[in-house]
Amino acid sequence: MAPAYRAYMEGRKVPWCRPRNPASFDARLNASQMEGFENNWDLVRRQLEAQTPPSLPLPPTPPL
């Protein structure tokens, strides 16, 4: 998603300038940019595990 955000921001009239809210991280994505992430729950789980303290284990992944 970082390449999509970079392309969106660099393609603006004033590159890297947010018109309404400079603190916004809004980015426009096409569905084709998300295809590699569709139903990739292992990726989601790994990211959550990396950010979850060991004292709060994640529940088991439900079967699809």
Does 60 fall in a domain?
no
Does 53 fall in a domain?
no
Sequence-distant (≥ 6) Cβ neighbours of residue 62 within 8 angstroms? none
Contact in structure between 48 and 54 (CB atoms under 8 Å): no
Does 36 fall in a domain?
yes
Does 58 fall in a domain?
no
At residue 17, what is the residue type? C
Does 8 fall in a domain?
yes
**pLDDT-based confidence at 14, cuts 50/70/90?**
confident
Q: Could you tell me where the DSSP H helices lie in 1-64?
A: 2-10, 31-34, 41-51
Task: Give residue-wise pLDDT tens across range 19-46.
Answer: 677 677 666 667 787 787 788 888 888 8
Instruction: Report the domain count for the chain.
Output: 1
Give the pTM. 0.36
